[in-house]
């Protein structure tokens, strides 16, 4: 049965509505009895809400809501929001990451205050990300981007007594405020040129040509800057190592997986719908060629991320830089779009989406393992990880899966999505992007395997003691590991779905 054939159209936004209502419910639960906090109830509600939203998105995706088979994308509220395959696909990423983070936070927050607020902020940020996926107007893009960002600032600075967390929150907030101001100015310049904020109308107005090519180019550049912040790509990447290192580890997991994917989904939609490459390259002698811009950013981002990661002594910071490197890989999806690419454009964009999907599992899992190590009170450097496998073999095995999958080794999900990405980039004629990506992947194996070596091969230091066995974190980590492994046989459907929904954009 196809969902939503006889229901009102706004029901298509159900995943976002469920997330927002769960966030409000969490605040309500927390308010009923302010003197005591039931951590288990809060974490359970947050996880169930995220899973329910994800389940609805998955059901819509399978049923074909907003896709070709059921009459195309559903646009709501005067085209301000649009529900299509891509928005549902990304909703699945956001909700699964939010669910894993909520489960793991049950242990991480056990002796913290303000637990209700923490889960509510996670859910509100996830609502904002889901809306980012649906945004079809620069106005909703900006509002939903802020809805995702503002809770994130508070989450990073959540440990109010911890100087690292405060510093991370401050830097994240300052650079975030700067980039959102730049983004807003970019929107105002595009509005000045086209007289509209709705993405398809902008494209229609640009198709008639404009004299203000310089203003348009500056506007597009500034909008790209806003996305570079959200996805932690060069040149707005420098907040990421600080914010991920200082933030509570579950928040780092949430930001580096879900928030990054949210930045990409909105960039994909804005650049393919509002500024189609064929249109913008035909005005002003091709000076607004954003594909070239993203190709440069992709190369610089992945090279910088991987080289910086290779020099780190701190595992969490290494993962932060590796997350920048992965943003570089995902940027290939935009960089390899060509004017007359046809189906190849959908393929490369879809491969990039599939990589973000797999990345959502493996990277969240890796940061949650770090959360567990923090919970055990071990240090943060590679040496502190020596011999963990002898004390906690299951968690160490899961971490090994994440590390090898992030590096793109064959038996794990990360291999297939990376392979599809590089392969479709070559098909679009960008063999050099694929080559740079492959070299960087090979380099990344060096620093990922250092973690594995420390855990399994190095002798544990004499006083290695791990305390409790946090159940929630184990559940989340094992879930992420199973997801990463299952995405090996499941990679074909995921990549095909992603490429189908991406092709609908062109």
The piece of 103-111, 173-181, 322-330, 412-420 that touches other proteins (CB under 8 A) is 173-181
Among 10, 77, 238, 423, binds other proteins (CB under 8 A): 238
| Shortest Cβ 100–other proteins spacing (Å) | 25
Are 37 and 105 within 8 A, CB to CB?
no
| Shortest Cβ 151–other proteins spacing (Å) | 8
User: Should residue 177 be labelled a site residue for other proteins when binding is judged by CB under 8 A?
Assistant: yes
DSSP state of 137: B
Instruction: Name the nearest CA neighbour of 367 among 406, 319, 321, 322.
Output: 319
Tokens found for residue 350? 């879809």
User: Should residue 41 be labelled a site residue for other proteins when binding is judged by CB under 8 A?
Assistant: no
Are 267 and 145 within 8 A, CB to CB?
no
Among 171, 230, 237, 355, binds other proteins (CB under 8 A): 171
Instruction: Name the nearest CA neighbour of 335 among 446, 231, 219.
Output: 231
Return d(Cα 347, Cα 175) in angstroms, integer. 33
The piece of 229-237, 238-246, 419-427, 469-477 that touches other proteins (CB under 8 A) is 238-246
Return d(Cα 381, Cα 391) in angstroms, integer. 18
Return d(Cα 271, Cα 367) in angstroms, integer. 31
Among 157, 309, 330, 455, binds other proteins (CB under 8 A): 157
Tokens found for residue 12? 């298509």
User: Should residue 178 be labelled a site residue for other proteins when binding is judged by CB under 8 A?
Assistant: yes
Among 153, 268, 402, 412, binds other proteins (CB under 8 A): 153
In the complex with other proteins, the residue whose CB is nearer, 255 or 331, is 255
Euclidean distance between the first and the last CA atom of the chain, given in angstroms as a whole number? 28
Across the strands, what pairs with 135? 81
User: Should residue 467 be labelled a site residue for other proteins when binding is judged by CB under 8 A?
Assistant: no
Are 19 and 116 within 8 A, CB to CB?
no
User: Should residue 240 be labelled a site residue for other proteins when binding is judged by CB under 8 A?
Assistant: no
Instruction: Give me the numbers of helices (H) and strands (E) for the chain, helices first please.
Output: 21, 2
DSSP state of 78: T
The piece of 38-46, 97-105, 181-189, 250-258 that touches other proteins (CB under 8 A) is 181-189
Are 85 and 67 within 8 A, CB to CB?
yes
Give the SS3 label for residue 468.
Answer: coil
The piece of 67-75, 235-243, 258-266, 337-345 that touches other proteins (CB under 8 A) is 235-243
State residue 248 phi and psi, 5-degree precision: -55, 140
- Tell me if the bond preceding 54 is cis, omega within 30° of 0: no
Return d(Cα 17, Cα 128) in angstroms, integer. 11
Among 215, 221, 300, 409, binds other proteins (CB under 8 A): 215
User: Should residue 191 be labelled a site residue for other proteins when binding is judged by CB under 8 A?
Assistant: yes
The piece of 185-193, 266-274, 281-289, 470-478 that touches other proteins (CB under 8 A) is 185-193
Among 71, 195, 393, 489, binds other proteins (CB under 8 A): 195
Sign for the CA dihedral angle at 351, 353, 354, 358 comes to positive
Q: How many residues bind other proteins (CB under 8 A)?
A: 42
In the complex with other proteins, the residue whose CB is nearer, 11 or 170, is 170
Among 25, 110, 154, 504, binds other proteins (CB under 8 A): 154
> In the window 93-152, what residues touch other proteins (CB under 8 A)?
138-139, 142-143, 146, 150
The piece of 10-18, 176-184, 371-379, 475-483 that touches other proteins (CB under 8 A) is 176-184
| Shortest Cβ 207–other proteins spacing (Å) | 17
Please give the residue ranges that form the binding site for other proteins (CB under 8 A).
138-139, 142-143, 146, 150, 153-154, 157, 160-161, 163-164, 166-171, 173-174, 177-178, 180-182, 184-185, 187-189, 191-192, 195-197, 215, 238, 241-242, 245-246
């Amino acid at each position: 049965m196809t969902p939503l054939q006889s229901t009102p159209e706004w029901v298509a936004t159900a995943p976002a509505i469920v997330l927002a209502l769960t966030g409000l419910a969490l605040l309500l639960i927390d308010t009923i009895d302010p003197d005591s906090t039931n951590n288990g109830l809060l974490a359970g509600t947050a996880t169930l809400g995220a899973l329910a939203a994800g389940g609805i998105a998955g059901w819509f995706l399978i049923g074909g809501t907003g896709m070709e088979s059921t009459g195309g994308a559903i646009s709501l509220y005067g085209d301000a929001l649009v529900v299509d395959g891509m928005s549902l696909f990304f909703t699945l990423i956001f909700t699964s990451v939010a669910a894993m983070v909520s489960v793991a936070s049950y242990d991480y927050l056990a002796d913290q205050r303000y637990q209700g607020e923490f889960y509510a902020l996670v859910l509100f940020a996830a609502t904002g990300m889901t809306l980012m996926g649906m945004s079809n107007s620069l106005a909703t893009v900006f509002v939903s981007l802020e809805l995702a960002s503002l809770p994130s600032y508070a989450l990073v600075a959540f440990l109010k007594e911890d100087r690292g967390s405060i510093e991370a929150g401050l830097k994240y907030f300052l650079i975030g405020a700067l980039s959102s101001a730049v983004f807003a100015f970019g929107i105002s310049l595009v509005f000045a040129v086209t007289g509209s904020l709705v993405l398809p109308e902008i494209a229609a107005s640009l198709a008639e040509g404009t004299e203000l090519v310089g203003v348009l180019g500056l506007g597009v550049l500034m909008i790209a800057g806003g996305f570079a912040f959200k996805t932690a790509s060069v040149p707005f990447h420098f907040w990421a190592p600080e914010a991920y290192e200082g933030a509570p580890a579950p928040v780092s997991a949430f930001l580096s997986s879900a928030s990054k994917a949210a930045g990409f989904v909105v960039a994909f939609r804005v650049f393919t719908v509002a500024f189609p490459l064929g249109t913008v390259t035909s005005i002003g002698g091709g000076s607004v060629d954003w594909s070239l811009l993203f190709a440069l950013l992709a190369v610089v981002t992945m090279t910088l991320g991987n080289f910086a990661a290779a020099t780190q002594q701190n595992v969490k910071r290494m993962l932060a830089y590796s997350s920048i490197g992965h943003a570089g890989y995902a940027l290939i999806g935009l960089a390899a779009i060509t004017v007359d690419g046809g189906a190849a454009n959908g393929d490369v964009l879809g491969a990039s989406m599939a990589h973000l999907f797999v990345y959502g599992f493996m990277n969240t899992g890796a940061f949650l393992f770090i959360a567990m190590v923090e919970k055990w009170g071990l240090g943060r450097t590679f040496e502190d990880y020596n011999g963990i496998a002898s004390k906690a073999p299951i968690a160490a095995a899961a971490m090994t899966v994440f590390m090898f999958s992030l590096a793109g080794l064959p038996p794990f999900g990360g291999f297939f999505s990376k392979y599809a990405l590089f392969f479709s980039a070559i098909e679009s004629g960008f063999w050099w992007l694929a080559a740079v990506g492959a070299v960087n992947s090979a380099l990344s194996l060096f620093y990922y395997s250092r973690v594995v070596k420390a855990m399994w091969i190095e002798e544990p230091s004499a006083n290695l003691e791990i305390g409790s066995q946090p159940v929630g974190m184990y559940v989340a980590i094992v879930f992420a590991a199973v997801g990463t492994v299952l995405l090996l046989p499941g990679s074909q459907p995921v990549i095909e779905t992603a490429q189908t929904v991406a092709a609908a954009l062109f």
